């Protein structure tokens, strides 16, 4: 297993429009093995932070099963506009595709897939809130749609929030991941430092 700190602004897969993507760069992470590592999960193009790779086929299969079974815990940092009234809670709203033409875009949909996100407030300042988000399910754009649906969209989100091309980048960061990889050893815990584009917003929150 490898855990890398994915930068914001690069897709993990090649999209229909082509362009630079993470998979094209994975040959540089073979470290002596005959094949390049493979993605065990994915992050959005504009999300930074912890991304898990399997170094060979068996490892990727095992990691994929751990993700599917919900045994790998992930915590994201999100700076949101406004914020929840409570300091902790659970967002439990099913999600479905917005429409067939919008690709990955999602919406709250009673006929959609069950989706749950735990949130904890880490700080509040100047109309913004720093949240720790723990996705209990792994739906596309889950954290972004869940936050927006509650009235506190993630800062810089151009799809579900008020972000534009001239606004700050998406302030969503895969802060940490905990992987129970071995039966007889403790879980592997990895943290990724916050990206530079979130530094100014994070500076407003004491103790972060």
Structure tokens at 126: 């100047």
Do 172 and 28 meet the contact criterion of CB atoms below 8 Å apart?
no
Pairing of strands 188-191, 2-6: unpaired
Do 171 and 201 meet the contact criterion of CB atoms below 8 Å apart?
yes
Catalytic residue among 5, 24, 44, 87: 44
CA pair distance 129, 86, nearest whole angstrom: 12
Q: Can you point out the beta strands (E) in 71-111? A: 73-81, 88-92, 95-97, 106-108
Render the burial of 74-105: b for 16+ CB within 10 Å, e for the rest: bbbbbbbbebbeeeeeebebbbbebeeeeeee
CA pair distance 77, 176, nearest whole angstrom: 9
CA pair distance 192, 82, nearest whole angstrom: 25
99 in catalytic set: no
Q: CB atoms < 10 A from the CB of 108, how many?
A: 16
Residues taking part in catalysis = 44
């Amino acid at each position: 297993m490898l855990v890398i700190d994915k930068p914001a602004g690069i897709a993990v897969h090649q999209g229909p429009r082509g362009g630079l993507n993470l998979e094209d760069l994975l040959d540089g992470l073979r470290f002596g093995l005959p094949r390049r590592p493979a993605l065990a999960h994915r992050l959005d193009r504009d999300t930074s932070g912890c991304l898990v790779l399997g170094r060979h086929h068996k490892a990727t299969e095992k990691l994929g099963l751990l993700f599917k079974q919900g045994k790998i815990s992930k915590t994201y940092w999100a700076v949101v506009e406004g914020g929840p009234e409570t300091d902790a809670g659970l967002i439990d709203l099913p999600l479905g595709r917005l429409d067939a033409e919008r690709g990955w875009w999602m919406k709250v949909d009673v006929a959609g897939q069950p989706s749950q996100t735990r949130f904890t407030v880490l700080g509040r300042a100047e109309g913004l809130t720093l949240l720790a988000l723990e996705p209990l399910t792994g739906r596309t754009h889950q954290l972004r749609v869940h936050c927006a649906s509650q009235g506190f969209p993630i800062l810089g989100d151009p799809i579900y929030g008020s972000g534009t091309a001239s606004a700050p980048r998406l302030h969503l960061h895969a802060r940490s991941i905990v992987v129970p990889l071995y039966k007889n050893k403790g879980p592997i815990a990895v943290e990724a430092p916050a990206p530079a584009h979130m530094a100014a917003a994070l500076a407003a929150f004491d103790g972060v």
